[in-house]
């Protein structure tokens, strides 16, 4: 999972439903504190979710977006280093936010593994249900993203 730690390209699809207002990880490799680089999709409140890349004290990329509670959602997060904006979030097939890097990404990897439903260190266990998680170790093209979103629409009606 090095690509989820050091800012190299990735594309991730998550079909899930948030069921609580508390802060918790949807999935991630960060532990929420310290200097370990990582990736996180974090539920902040009953309506707000954050894509975060960096470490607990210094996010290199971070975007907040609105995500409805108690209904199934199809989330796509993707990007890589390069020309700004570099990271993108799509929710149920529509763009929500673009994020520029605020600093240099580091190749220093976190000792934590990818946690689905938790942060990499096990912090903030989740209050979400999951149908499917798909992860690619590169930024997919717009056409590829459209094809996978069509598949998820067909399978889950989202």
Q: pLDDT tens-digit profile of 51-70?
A: 777 665 566 677 778 877 77
CB neighbours of residue 36 within 10 Å: 20
Provide the whole-model pTM: 0.81
Distance, in Å, from the CA atom of 115 to the CA atom of 117, rounded to the nearest integer, reads 6
State mean pLDDT over 1-7: 62
Q: Does the structure show a pLDDT above 90 at 78?
A: no
High-pLDDT (> 70) share of the chain, % = 68
Distance, in Å, from the CA atom of 14 to the CA atom of 6, rounded to the nearest integer, reads 21
Q: Does the structure show a pLDDT above 70 at 84?
A: no
State mean pLDDT over 39-48: 77
Number of H helices, E strands in the chain: 1, 10
Distance, in Å, from the CA atom of 93 to the CA atom of 150, rounded to the nearest integer, reads 9
Cβ-count burial 114-126 (b if 16+ within 10 Å, e if not): bbebbbbbebbeb
Distance, in Å, from the CA atom of 47 to the CA atom of 27, rounded to the nearest integer, reads 17
Highest mean pLDDT, choosing among 4-8, 20-24, 89-93: 89-93
Q: What's the burial of 14, exposed, middle or buried (CB within 10 Å: 0-12/13-18/19+)?
A: buried
What is the average pLDDT value for the chain, to the nearest integer?
76
pLDDT in the model for residue 67? 78
Query: Where residue 145 falls among pLDDT bands split at 50, 70, 90?
Result: very high
Highest mean pLDDT, choosing among 56-60, 96-100, 147-151, 153-157: 147-151
Closest to 27 (Cα-Cα) out of 59, 50, 8: 50
pLDDT in the model for residue 88? 83
Q: Does the structure show a pLDDT above 60 at 108?
A: no
Q: Does an H or E element contain 144, and which?
A: helix 142-156
Highest mean pLDDT, choosing among 78-82, 90-94, 104-108: 90-94
Contact 130, 57 (CB under 8 A): no
Task: For residue 105, give both structure tokens.
Answer: 């990404």
Q: Does the structure show a pLDDT above 60 at 101?
A: yes
């Amino acid at each position: 999972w090095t690509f989820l730690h050091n800012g190299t390209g990735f594309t991730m699809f998550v079909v899930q439903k948030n069921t609580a207002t508390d802060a918790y990880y949807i999935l991630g490799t960060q532990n929420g504190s310290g200097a370990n680089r990582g990736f996180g999709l974090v539920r902040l409140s009953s309506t707000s979710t954050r894509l975060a890349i960096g470490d607990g004290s210094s996010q290199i990329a971070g975007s907040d977006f609105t995500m409805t509670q108690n209904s199934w959602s199809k989330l796509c997060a993707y990007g890589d280093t390069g020309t700004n904006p570099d990271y993108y979030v799509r929710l149920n097939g529509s763009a929500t936010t673009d994020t520029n890097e605020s600093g240099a990404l580091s190749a220093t990897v976190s000792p934590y593994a990818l946690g689905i439903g938790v942060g990499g260190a096990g912090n903030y266990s989740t209050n979400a249900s999951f149908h499917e998680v798909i992860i690619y170790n590169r930024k997919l093209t717009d056409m590829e993203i459209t094809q996978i979103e069509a598949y998820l629409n067909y399978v889950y009606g989202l």
